[in-house]
Structure 1
Amino acid sequence: MRGVKKQNLPNKICLVCQKPFVWRKKWEKVWDEVKYCSDKCKMNK
C-alpha cells in the first residue's frame, strides 16, 4: 500500500456500528479478516 493516497485506500463497513473505516498499516496482512472498526465494536458484537 506504499505510495497510495488516503482517498484511494480500501474501506469496509463495520458490522456493529455500520460506519465505514479505512485500511490501516497494522491490518496489512489480515485485511480480509478485519470485520470491526475498533476493539469497542469487537467487544459489542
Structure 2
Amino acid sequence: MSQHPAGFRGNKAALPSKPCAACGLPMTWRKRWAKNWAEVKFCSEACRRKPAPRG
C-alpha cells in the first residue's frame, strides 16, 4: 500500500509543498511526514528552534 499523496507517480514536481513558518522556504512533502503533513510547520530542526517571527 502506497503512502504517497494522491496523484504521485514518481514525479517529485507533483508532490505538495508549503512554506516553512520560520524561514519561508518551500518544503516538499516527505514520506516520513505522511501521517502528520497538516501539522508540519518547519523545514528543519534548526528552524523549529528559532524564535517565532514578530509582526
TM-score by length of 1: 0.88
How many equivalent residue pairs? 45
**C-alpha RMSD over aligned residues:** 1.3
- In structure 1, the gaps of 5 or more residues are none
TM-score by length of 2: 0.74
The one of the two structures with greater contact order (alpha-carbon pairs below 8 A, sep at least 6) is 1
Provide runs of 4+ in structure 1 moved above 6 Å.
none
- In structure 2, the gaps of 5 or more residues are none
Query: Rg bigger for which structure?
Result: 2
